Amino acid sequence: MAIPHLPAMLLFSFLVSVVFGVLSKDTPRDRLLYGGKVFVAFVGIAVLLGWIMYPAP
Amino acid sequence: MANKAVREAVPAKAQPKLSTLVRVCAAAWVVPGLGHLLLGRKWRALILFATIVAMFLMGIAMRGEFFSTSSGSYLQTLGYFGELCVGVAMPAARFFGYAGGDPLFVSADYGTACLVAAGMLNVLAILDVYDVAMGRKP
């Protein structure tokens, strides 16, 4: 199954964020906040790096 | 003297037996989330099982590569142990006919990354089980 790059990256980020959130924090609210931050960081940095590397051949 | 009074007031936490620690950590390695289940953390176990297995299945779906120790490359050997950390999933996939990936497939590299990431996430889960069993985490 060939998953396009963006959905694959989103899925990967989501799954890793869930595990990080569950393991790093103790209350459901903290877990949700931390997981959300990690997810946004994953996606944001990936998009930023994509734009930076866009002019590269 | 004050320290002695505090020590007497706060009961010392009972340390788990070594056999219990080994049992829950081994269970957490063999099946992601099983260690948490044995410690009574049902929801955490369910979430970890679902996410780590989903990550592994995503790697299989993208035809990620199973590394081996016979290549002589240190990186391949590290990759093998990384994938082995996910527990029984890799032997099970082999048992059910997954031959170990197709390097020419378009998303095979992403699949390999997912397989290794699943193993690394399970390592974090095993460490969490250890902390919970030792009473360091709720």
Interface A-B, measured as beta-carbon pairs within 8 A, has a size of: 51
Residue B7 included in any domain: no
Residue B5 included in any domain: no
Q: Which residues of B touch A8 (CB under 8 A)?
A: 58, 62, 107, 110
Structural domain boundaries enclosing B68: 18-134
Nearest CA in chain B to A9: B110
Helix pair B108-134, B74-84: axis angle to 10 deg: 60
pLDDT of residue A41: 97
* Measured torsion, CA atoms of residues B109, B114, B115, B116, in degrees rounded to the nearest 10: 90
A51-55, B16-20, B23-27, B38-42: range with lowest mean pLDDT: B16-20
pLDDT of residue B81: 92
**What's the mean pLDDT in B111-135?**
94
More confident residue, B51 or B5: B51
Residue B9 included in any domain: no
pLDDT of residue A43: 96
pLDDT tens track for B75-121:
989 999 999 999 999 889 989 888 877 778 888 889 999 999 999 99
Q: How confident is the model at residue B22 (pLDDT cuts 50, 70, 90)?
A: very high
Contacts of A56 (CB under 8 A, 6+ apart): none
Residue B63 included in any domain: yes
Concatenating the DSSP letter of every residue in B26-77 gives: HHHHHSTTHHHHHTT-HHHHHHHHHHHHHHHHHHHHTTPPPP-STT--HHHH
pLDDT of residue A56: 83
Euclidean distance between CA atoms B86 and B119, whole angstroms: 4
User: Based on the structure, what is the number of domains in chain B?
Assistant: 1
Q: Confirm if B128 and B137 have CB atoms less than 8 A apart.
A: yes
pLDDT tens track for B41-64:
999 999 999 999 999 999 999 999
pLDDT at B8 over 80: no
Residue B121 included in any domain: yes
Q: Is ipTM over 0.85?
A: yes
Interface test with A, best of B121, B131, B137 (most A CBs within 10 A): B121
Q: List chain A domain ranges.
A: 15-21+29-51
pLDDT tens track for A1-57:
778 888 999 999 999 999 999 999 989 999 999 999 999 999 999 999 999 998 887
Q: How many degrees, rounded to 5, is the angle at CA B56 between CA A37 and CA A38?
A: 5
pLDDT of residue B136: 87
